[in-house]
Structures are given as C-alpha cells and as structure tokens.
Structure 1
Amino acid sequence: MSSSTHLIILSLSFLLLFIITPTISGDVSFDEEWCIADEQVPDDELQRALDWACGKGGADCRNIQMKQPCFYPNTVRDHASYAFNSYYQKFKHKGATCYFNSAAMVTSLDPSHGSCKFEYVP
C-alpha cells in the first residue's frame, strides 16, 4: 500500500471513531463553563470580590441569602462561587470575564449541589 492509501485509511478510521462514539453525558461538558472561586485565594480577598460582584457588579445574589437554596454551605468561598458565576453568566456575552482580581477560575464541572443550581447561559 502506498502512503497516501495509509493516510486515507487512517483518516476514515478517525472519522468512524467520531461517528460511532457515544455522546458524553453527566456533569462534565466541554462547551459549558461556570465561574467559581479559586480554592487558593484567601477568604478576605474572596469577600472583597464577592462584595463587588453582588454590589456594583450586578450579580444576582438572592440565592445565597439566608433561607435560600444556595445559602449552605455558608462559607465565603461557596457564596463567592455562586456570585462570580451569576455575574459571569449574566455579562459574558458583553465581554465580562471570570477574573475577579485573580480570585476566580473557569471550570467545566457544574458546581451545582442539592437544591442550589448554578446558572449556565449558552
């Protein structure tokens, strides 16, 4: 066989692999992104970023208030993650980023838990 025949066979093999491979399902998605607090950032920095996101930033922080579905766990990190994601999903199509002065990061793992659902906007 010639090298061009090998190349064609290899190309067809990859094409078949993509056609017959089942779609991945579950909590991991390669095209969905959420914005969460970086685990390595101290709470005081997260609190400043959280205050900005829920204030001037315009994030919807109602769900992290007491007696709301995302109040627990009641930690700065968890509340910041919810607020950062709310801001990011709300404004990413207008150029917003998941930065928050290096306090946040993007993840493809849905951070929702229990009755607390993190928004995702395609």
Structure 2
Amino acid sequence: MEGTRHALAFFLLALALLFCFADCSGHAELSSTHSNGRVQEERRNEGVATSWCIAKPSTDDESLNHNIDYSCRQKGVDCRPIQPGGSCFNPDSIISHASFAMNLFYKSAGKNYWNCHFNGTGLIVTQNPC
C-alpha cells in the first residue's frame, strides 16, 4: 500500500514539474519544406526534441541547490527566468527552479543521458510539458 502511495506521489510531482515547464520551454517546430534532404534531417533531429531533464522528486534541497549552481554557471544556460521577477520564477520552489536549470543544461550540452545524471538526481522524461 505504501509503495503505491509513493508511486502515485512521484507521478503527481513529476506531472506538476512538467507543467511548470509549459510556460518556459521552447517548442521545436518541424518545417513542412520538402526540399531534398531537409525533411530527412528534421526527422533525424525530431527524437532529440522529445525529452526533458527534471530533478528527481526525492532529491534533498542541498543537492538541488548544487544542481542549480552548477547548471547556471555553464555556457549556454541562462537562469535569469528563475530569478525573482523572472518569467519562470513561479512556482517558487527549489525543485521547480532546479528542474528548469537542469533542463537548460541538458539541452545546451546535447541532450545525452549523461547530461541529466547530476549525481543520480536527474530524471529524463519524454512527456511533452506543453
């Protein structure tokens, strides 16, 4: 019974995190251009755009803060949206902010599974948050 509650709690938290990305994530668009080679290239990249990195719900606050600090120091990661007054500051929770920063790092580093490891605190999801 307790395992079922933990699984349900994990699912609901993961779903909530996905929704927090809805306003802050870019959308990958596929062109309908049929020029030779272009559609084939876009199809090959299509799978890359279908995963996101979020913080595991069981992660302690110290590790989440470390993940934010690490991610936000990396080239190509702009964490201004999760600063007070930023467009993704709300929900104002450490797990939401960490998930945002971790996902930006994951995207900027190439969306490899190891770019979402974060010492075992990252989780790759394939459900589109939008």
TM-score, reference length from structure 2: 0.56
Query: Is this contact kept in 2: 1:60–1:87, CA < 8 A?
Result: no
Corresponding position of 2:118: 100
> Which protein shows a greater Rg?
1
Does residue 1:40 correspond to 2:58, yes or no?
yes
Structure 1, gaps ≥5 residues long = 1-26, 113-122
Bigger helix share: 2
- Mapped contact 1:33–1:107 kept (Cα < 8 A): yes
Q: What is the CA deviation profile of residues 45-83 of structure 1, one whole-angstrom value per residue up to 9, with x for unaligned ones?
A: 11111111112x332211111111110111110000000
Q: Percent identity?
A: 31
Q: Which runs of 5+ in 2 are unaligned?
A: 1-21, 23-45
Does the Cα contact within 8 Å between 1:36 and 1:106 map onto a contact in 2?
yes
Q: TM-score, normalised by structure 1?
A: 0.59
Alignment of 1:3-22 (within 5 A): none
CA RMSD of aligned residues (A): 2.5
Partner residue, 1:50: 68
Deviations 1:18-53 (CA, angstroms, capped at 9, x unpaired): xxxxxxxxx9xx940000011111111111111111
**Aligned in 2, Cα 1:95/1:105: closer, same or farther, shift over 3 Å?**
closer
Q: Is the 8 A contact 2:113 2:124 kept in 1?
A: no
The aligned length equals 83
